[in-house]
Structure 1
Amino acid sequence: MTVIDIHAHIYPEKIAAKAVDAIGAFYDTTMYGQGTADHLLSVMEHSPITNFVVHSVATNARSVESINDFIARECEAHSEFIGFMAMHQDYADPEKEVERAIALGLKGMKIHPDTQEINLDDPRLMNVYEIIEGRLPIIIHMGDYRHDFSHPRRLKNVLRTFPDLVVNGAHFGGWSMPEVAFDLLGEERCFIDMSSSMFWLGARRTKELCRLYGTDRVLFGSDFPMWDPVLEYNTFASIDFSDDELENMLWHNAERFLGEKIGC
């Protein structure tokens, strides 16, 4: 079976250590991975994970193009990778960069409102959603109790404004507020990934939330380099889901989110 990890970050070798340290500091946690493509690829040797959706976050407008070039190069070099572009709210011509990213072979977009310090329904991002609606899916980091940037109510506003936007509300729609997220997003038309959640929820609550949202909406993700993808997979696969539920969450839902067939 194809297994798609929908949520993995990679960085160029020369800045990976600095980037990983910055993420660890932001969340006050010890990071698992080195943040490099090579380390992520080495994970595949020890697990049934066959593909990773890879991305990085632009914390300023200047870095958008270089990030997108890097992700595209890694995807060209490694067929196991499916690349998502970066975007920043202050980038001068987002439509032009979206066109360029599509030409580079990138398949979606990732934003992180908390580290980019912007409300996810800010007019500058609403302009970006309008550009990619019906063209690219987007992964949005969600729900940090320390900030209001990524509150699930903001995603609800986005989904109501752009009904054809394909969205993954990452971390069960809010890693630190999953119940609030479900109350707001449970009936909305979006995907939900379970990355960076099991450490907080445990197996029982993870299973309950997957079934509350519907196992036709939930996506498997590890949030590498924060967590070990092998351990995340093993923990998730050990929960007593049916074979059909697991196949959906590990594979088919990701295909529907991406809008293309992956694997056989």
Structure 2
Amino acid sequence: MAVIDAHAHIYPDKIAAAAVDAVGNFYEVNMFGDGTAAGLLSAKDRSPITHFLVHSVATSVHAVTAINNAIAQACQAHPEFIGFAAMHQDFEDPATELQRAVDLGLHGVKLHPDTQKVNMDDPRLMEVYAICEEMGLPVVIHTGDYRYDFSHPRRLVNILKAFPDLVVDAAHFGYWPCFDVGYDILHDIARHDRVFLDQSSTQKFLGPRRTVELARMWGTDRIMFGSDFPMWDPADECNKLMACDFTDDELENILWHNAERFSGVKVS
């Protein structure tokens, strides 16, 4: 079967070191990887991973087009990659840029309210969600941070109510790292087929038993494997997840089919 890492960040080689340092400083962690496409692809040699959903975050309006060009180029060079576009709340014409991103071969959008310093349900981003809903573009949204209110899951409830056809990945089990709180706030509205959750950056905190329990609480037909590279080692994260007490059918959904359904991309 295919195995899709549904949450991985990559950067152009010339800025990767600085980007990795910035993320490490933001989260006060020692980063695993170098943030390059080559560094990410090396995980294939040490795990069953076959594909990666890749993206980056635009922390300034000026970075949007450059990031989208870089992700598209990486995807053209590496068929293992499924690329998502960046967007920023102050970008002047998001509809035109997102159509350009689609024309480049990208399949969705990534937002990180905490590093972009914007409320997830800010009116400027609500315009972006409306465009994504109309274009059929799924959105990966970093959800939750106990230090900030930008990405609190209650804001995601507002978004999902406003855009009933928007497909969303509420990343990190819906509230990093207060995962049970995310479930309490989101589980009712997340019953809809359009709401997915990746479990990236969670296994260190949850351990194998609680990972299985929480995945089953949400429903294993909506949970996606993700590594959050370069923060963690994709091979190690994948191998840990496969060692959890999931059934074969549950693992096939988490590692493969759910990410296909979320991204709209079939892989073999």
Which residue number corresponds to residue 229 of structure 2? 224
| Residue 240 (structure 2) pairs with residue 235 (structure 1) | yes
The one-letter code of the counterpart of 1:130 is A
1:56-94 residue CA offsets vs partner (Å, 9 max, x unmatched): 000000000000000000000100000000000000000
Question: 2-side partners of 1:181 and 1:262: how far apart?
Answer: 30
Question: 1-side partners of 2:208 and 2:152: how far apart?
Answer: 24
Which residue number corresponds to residue 86 of structure 1? 86
State the shift of 1:203 in Å.
Answer: 1.1
Q: Secondary structure at the match of 1:133?
A: helix
Asked whether the equivalents of residues 199 and 226 of structure 2 are also in contact (C-alpha less than 8 Å), the reply is: yes
Which residue number corresponds to residue 19 of structure 1? 19
Question: 2-side partners of 1:145 and 1:62: how far apart?
Answer: 28
Which residue number corresponds to residue 123 of structure 2? 123
Question: 2-side partners of 1:260 and 1:233: how far apart?
Answer: 20
Which residue number corresponds to residue 171 of structure 1? 172
State the shift of 1:43 in Å.
Answer: 1.3
Q: Secondary structure at the match of 2:6?
A: strand
Question: 1-side partners of 2:207 and 2:51: how far apart?
Answer: 25
TM-score (norm 2): 0.97
How many pairs align?
A: 263
Question: 2-side partners of 1:165 and 1:111: how far apart?
Answer: 14
Question: 2-side partners of 1:260 and 1:66: how far apart?
Answer: 24
The one-letter code of the counterpart of 1:137 is P
Q: Which moved more, 1:100-109 or 1:187-196?
A: 187-196
Question: 2-side partners of 1:41 and 1:141: how far apart?
Answer: 23
1:204-237 residue CA offsets vs partner (Å, 9 max, x unmatched): 1111110000000100000000000011001100
Which residue number corresponds to residue 30 of structure 2? 30
Which residue number corresponds to residue 10 of structure 2? 10
| Residue 73 (structure 2) pairs with residue 76 (structure 1) | no
Asked whether the equivalents of residues 31 and 230 of structure 2 are also in contact (C-alpha less than 8 Å), the reply is: yes
The one-letter code of the counterpart of 1:65 is T
Question: 2-side partners of 1:132 and 1:76: how far apart?
Answer: 23
State the shift of 1:202 in Å.
Answer: 1.1
| Residue 255 (structure 2) pairs with residue 260 (structure 1) | no
Question: 2-side partners of 1:213 and 1:114: how far apart?
Answer: 24
Question: 2-side partners of 1:43 and 1:179: how far apart?
Answer: 30
Q: Secondary structure at the match of 2:89?
A: coil
State the shift of 1:177 in Å.
Answer: 1.5
Which residue number corresponds to residue 186 of structure 1? 187
Q: Secondary structure at the match of 2:210?
A: helix
The CA RMSD over aligned residues, in Å, is 0.7
Which residue number corresponds to residue 153 of structure 2? 152
The one-letter code of the counterpart of 1:9 is H
Asked whether the equivalents of residues 88 and 116 of structure 2 are also in contact (C-alpha less than 8 Å), the reply is: yes
The one-letter code of the counterpart of 2:18 is K
The gaps in structure 2 that reach 5 residues or longer are none
Asked whether the equivalents of residues 209 and 245 of structure 2 are also in contact (C-alpha less than 8 Å), the reply is: no
Q: Which moved more, 1:9-18 or 1:184-193?
A: 184-193
Question: 1-side partners of 2:100 and 2:60: how far apart?
Answer: 18
Which residue number corresponds to residue 209 of structure 1? 214
The one-letter code of the counterpart of 1:223 is D
Q: Which moved more, 1:103-112 or 1:181-190?
A: 181-190
TM-score (norm 1): 0.98
1:195 to 194, 200, 203: 200
State the shift of 1:260 in Å.
Answer: 3.0
User: How high is the sequence identity, in percent, across the aligned residues?
Assistant: 62
Q: Secondary structure at the match of 1:31?
A: coil
